[in-house]
Structure 1
Amino acid sequence: MRNLSFIMLIAVLVLSACGRPNIDEQTGQTTIRIAHLVNPTQSSHILLEAFQEQVEEESGGELRVEIYPAGSLFPSDREAIEAVQLGNVEMTVPALASLSGFHQDFMILDLPYLFEDEEQAYSVLDGPFGQDLLDSLEAVNIKGLVYGENGFRHITNNVRPVYTPEDIEGQKLRTLESPVHTDFFNAFGANASPFAFGEMYSSLQQGSYDAMEAPIALMYTSRLFEVQEYMSFTSHVYMPIALLMNDDFFQSLEEEHQGILMDAAEMFREEQRILEQEQSVEYLEEMKEAGLQVNDLTDEEKQAFRDRAEPVYEKYRDILGPELFEDLEAAIEEAE
């Protein structure tokens, strides 16, 4: 582990030394480096390759894109976002929960059971409410380009099928790096805490953690179903991803290049969502065939989780302010 940490530190230092913007003095070519956590078979990486192709082609090679998947540069979304913020790399594609540490208003999207389905989520995220959140990141030197999809998240564990909050009481459960997620899982009765995504497989395999929660495709592409026995369709959070860029870097680009990046980002958003849903259907069947035991929940059973989460809503209404909640509620109503 010390050798791996040393290698990652050297990689970060090398990237930092490259400076910003990352322009080849001889060719004038600008390189855009994208670091992210998921494996190359997952939808967001596949569409990053399409993003790469479109950007390089439409810029006539003036923009060059390099992709570093599977946590090869940074072991967590938080560290990748920090690297983008500092300009050590130009882009990343984190799960949205990790953004709450950079702008607290993003916590509101971490609350459980906000959206009924994907279409409602798209309407809110791609509309004024979601755009205002992305624009707010410019205050911390991050350009939010578009939202993508990780999908609805479900509880998995090695103890029993989950139908009620009582079924996960006391279980050690890994959450995303968001205090909201930790709070609502603790409200459900779990012993919840976050840690780096790259450590999850070994922690579950060794039994130091019992449970986790994830969308279907991410669970499959990261092979986490190999170290979990049960998946319960709690659908407790719809979790977007966000295509992020260092804002200083974005503003330094010619207007034509900014337009090329935005066009490619919008392509990423539309196509990645489609592929994510296709992968979820395919991968769920493969995980079942491999022995994962899957159970659904009724609306009444999900309501028990909603009821347990009410104090969490009240806590974050006080922290974030009622106006933000009112704006979100209005956006959801408009989407219906």
Structure 2
Amino acid sequence: MKKWLLTAAAAALTLSFGAHAYAQNIQPRLIRFGYGLNEDSNQGRAARFFAEEVAKRSGGKLKVRTFGAATLGPDPQMQNALIGGAQEMMVGSTATLVGTVKEFAIWDVPFMFANEKEADAVLDGPVGQKLLDKLQEKGLVGLVYWENGFRNLTNSRHKIEKAEDLQGVKLRVMQNPVFIDTFKAAGANAVPLAFAELFTALETKAVDGQENPYTTIVSSKFYEVQKYLTVTNHVYSPWIMTASKVWWDKLSPDEQKILIDAAVASRDFERADTRAEAAKALDQLKADGMDVTVMPPEEVAKLREKAAPVTKTVIDSVGQPLWDEVQAEIRKTRGTN
């Protein structure tokens, strides 16, 4: 009897240690989250915020590992990795999704939004959600839109004060037909190039200039290789957080909700952070030696006119009904009928 009790006690102790060891060895579900800018950029700060929110909301059961500076590849490469299930999540430009879902070209139309309030209303409303939903049939899950901001021009050749000054400037643009055609129409030599290659291209003068929001110009240190900045606010540029549908469908409803809620929180954080930084970035660029020119409204109007055929092409591609929906939301935000 004593021997049996000792054996039972030993077995119980073994089970107890085994259960403890198992509990200790349970690993959190790892989520690889890629993005293109540097870690100290607005994109990097928001990615860290998202990772912290996911850890907090999941009690550590979900762990987001962030990869900045395009270490997992440029946006198109990461998008393909998501579709194939080789990567879980990313945030990147909506412009590089146009080849996947053509309707995303609507966000690239020049001079469409007058301010951030209009952009928020459209992107967070039914029209923005409609486009997010279209990603699922292509193997992606669209979660939220972040803000890149209004885009402006820089170059190393000369001041751009008039629409005609763009003539012949070799300008890097995103690998997106609307951006390429818009700047070709303006007379520039539009060169599609991955963002990760841009600084070197500017430094070696393989291209004369580029166009991005103030915050990106600062965080990427383009002021080191660019002399002239022209304020045009020609396109409002959103980012989009996406997930691999192959991976997403394997998550539990609770896990999906945690990620959605954390994504919404990160969107609000990122927009506030980006807008606060943008307000300071222009002064910083001046302090860093950039020659800043604000393009006069009549010259901006010329650029808008030159871009009109491109806008018409986008409308023909995405469909008049979608264009009308976007315009209706903008008018509603402006308080007009």
TM value normalised by structure 1: 0.90
Equivalent residues in 2 for 1:1-336 (5 A)?
27=26, 29-74=28-73, 76-336=74-334
Aligned to 1:17: none
Change in Cα spacing, 1:253 to 1:155, as seen in structure 2 (3 Å) is: same
Letter in 2 for 1:97: A
Contact 2:163 2:300 in 1 (8 A): no
Larger radius of gyration: 2
1:262, distance to aligned residue in structure 2 (A): 0.9
Give, in angstroms, the shift of residue 99 of structure 1.
Answer: 1.1
Q: Residue in 2 aligned with 1:15? A: none
- For residues 73-103 of structure 1, what are the alpha-carbon distances to aligned partners after superposition, in whole Å with 9 as ceiling and x for unaligned? 21x1111111111111101110111111211
Distance 2:128 2:162 in 1: 32
CA distance in structure 2 between the partners assigned to 1:54 and 1:321 by the alignment: 38
Cα deviation, 1:249-291, whole Å, max 9, x if unaligned, reads 2222111111111111111111100111111222222221111
Which sections of structure 1, spanning at least 5 residues, go unmatched? 1-25
Tell whether the 8 Å contact from 1:164 to 1:305 is kept in structure 2 after alignment: no
Distance 2:57 2:34 in 1: 22
* Contact 2:171–2:208, Cα closer than 8 Å, also in 1: yes
Deviations 1:279-306 (A, max 9, x none): 1222222221111011112322211111
CA contact (8 A) 1:153 1:238 kept: yes
Q: Note the alpha carbon deviations across 1:153-185, whole angstroms, 9 max, x for none.
A: 001111222222210111111001210000000
Deviates more, 1:142-151 or 1:286-295: 286-295
Letter in 2 for 1:55: V
Tell me by how many angstroms 1:321 deviates: 2.1
**Deviation, structure 1 residue 28:** 5.3
Contact between 2:103 and 2:317, CA under 8 Å: does it hold in 1? no
Sequence identity percentage: 35
Cα displacement (A) at 1:327 = 1.7
Question: What is the distance in 2 between the residues matched to 1:298 and 1:166?
Answer: 13
Could you tell me how far apart the structure 1 residues matched to 2:228 and 2:192 are? 20
Aligned length: 312
In structure 2, what is the Cα distance between the partners aligned to 1:270 and 1:238?
17
2 CA distance for matches of 1:157 and 1:217? 16
1:39-72 CA deviation, whole Å, 9 max, x = no partner? 0111121121111111112211111111111111
Q: Deviations over 1:125-146 (max 9, x none)?
A: 0000001011110011111100
Question: What letter is aligned with 1:98?
Answer: T
